């Protein structure tokens, strides 16, 4: 039995329709979107438009032209941060952020942007009162991860959005671990900027992602080049979305992303959420019986996404992950998960954790097999 439990990094397997959409774009279309008036190019453009519309439906975005395709969530976050913030601005973020937020902010500090990092609690949850206390007159943005990629802590987006808007600031959400798993209504929540990858919960191929920017958000492009429109201009146009998508788009990837989003819309995001939550609760119940094992993150299932991190006293997480892989063909993630500040908050530096993240196709039988395999691996490690 081969078991894949690293969907927080990249979802696998994809629905069959995703593979077929990628092949169709490559074999049957081949042309670039927006780069010609012939039928193949127009068909490519139609697929890109339909992908934007599918994403707009999933996230309740009124105008799909406000969706900018990127290579991943990292590209989207860089555009949101570097394309908005200027010298003298102040940003509030949290200690649970991924390096895709931390590192661009560190670069911006060198250009005169001030950053306040609000510490989360030991369970990874951020207190909105602490965020409010960090607000300054020059606060331009509050940037938070919806769900922690380390411990699954779900942050209270609506409360944080209200604080941002009361301060006249923008609210940026990193939805890397929630897009495709939790219902996100950008208008109801009050999200000004939403960044998400295509290859995780949205079930699309690698090399895909997007940034949603609300109509009142003024962005500056980070890349200049061909857009397929405004070709007489020697400067980069600011038209949405083409002005922010310089160069040829990843048509096979976007076609696959559309198919993944269509699958989610057909199955129902609430059903997917319930399925993955049930698997996490099952894993937690089984793993909690193991002596010396510590699970990190909120205890309340409502406050945890489809991510579970744990350590075992006296056992290096990387050794346990290798034993699970080599001995049982089970794929899990170990280490710091590109979020060292989060591990410092949780108290799991320097070795990190073992992270388990089921997906839409994971079964309860696989979780039971995994939990039993952990017991057997620990017996082998501790007896060596």
- Which of 133, 273, 303, 338 is an active site residue? 338
- Contact in structure between 257 and 205 (CB atoms under 8 Å): yes
CA distance readout (Å), 382 to 221, 315, 350, 372, 379: 54, 8, 21, 16, 5
Q: Cis omega before residue 241 (within 30°)?
A: yes
Q: Would you call 133 a catalytic residue per the annotation?
A: no
The candidate with the shortest Cα–Cα distance to 57, out of 148, 177, 181, 183, is 183
Phi, psi (deg, nearest 5) at residue 141: -155, 145
- Contact in structure between 11 and 201 (CB atoms under 8 Å): yes
Rg (CA), the chain: 21
C-alpha 3/C-alpha 330 separation (Å) is 5
Query: Among all chains, which residue has been given the structure tokens 């039971």?
Result: 368
C-alpha 243/C-alpha 250 separation (Å) is 16
Q: Which active-site residues does the annotation give?
A: 338
């Amino acid at each position: 039995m081969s078991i894949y439990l690293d969907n927080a990094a990249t979802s696998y397997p994809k629905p069959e329709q995703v593979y077929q959409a990628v092949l169709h774009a490559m074999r049957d279309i081949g042309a670039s979107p927006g780069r010609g008036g012939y039928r193949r190019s127009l068909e490519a453009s139609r697929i890109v438009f339909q992908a934007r519309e599918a994403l707009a439906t999933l996230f309740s975005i009124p105008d799909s032209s406000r969706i900018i395709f990127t290579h991943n969530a990292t590209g989207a976050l860089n555009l949101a941060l570097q394309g908005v913030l200027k010298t003298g601005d102040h940003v509030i973020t949290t200690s649970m952020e991924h390096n895709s937020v931390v590192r661009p902010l560190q670069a911006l500090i060198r250009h005169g942007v001030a950053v306040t990092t609000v510490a989360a609690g030991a369970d990874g949850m951020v207190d909105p009162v602490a965020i409010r206390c960090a607000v300054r007159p020059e606060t331009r943005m509050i940037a938070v991860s919806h769900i922690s990629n380390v411990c699954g802590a779900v942050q209270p987006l609506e409360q944080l959005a209200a604080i941002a808007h009361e301060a006249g600031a923008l609210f940026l959400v990193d939805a890397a671990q929630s897009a495709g798993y939790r219902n996100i209504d950008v208008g109801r929540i009050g999200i000004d900027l939403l960044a998400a990858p295509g290859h995780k919960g949205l079930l699309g191929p690698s090399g895909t992602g997007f940034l949603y920017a609300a109509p009142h958000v003024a962005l500056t492009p980070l890349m200049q080049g061909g857009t397929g429109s405004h070709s007489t201009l020697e400067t980069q146009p600011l038209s949405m979305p083409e002005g922010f998508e310089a160069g040829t788009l990843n048509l096979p990837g976007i076609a696959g992303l559309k198919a993944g989003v269509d699958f989610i819309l057909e199955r129902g995001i609430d059903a997917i959420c319930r399925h993955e939550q049930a698997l996490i609760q099952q894993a937690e119940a089984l793993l909690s019986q193991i002596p010396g094992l510590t699970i990190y993150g909120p205890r309340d299932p409502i406050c945890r996404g489809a991510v579970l991190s744990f350590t075992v006293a006296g056992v290096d997480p990387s050794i346990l992950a290798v034993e699970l892989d080599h001995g049982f063909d089970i794929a899990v993630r170990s280490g710091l998960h590109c979020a060292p500040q989060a591990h410092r908050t949780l108290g799991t530096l320097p070795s990190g954790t073992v992270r388990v993240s089921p997906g839409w196709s994971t079964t309860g039988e696989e979780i039971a097999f995994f939990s039993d395999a952990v017991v057997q691996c620990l017996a082998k490690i501790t007896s060596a």
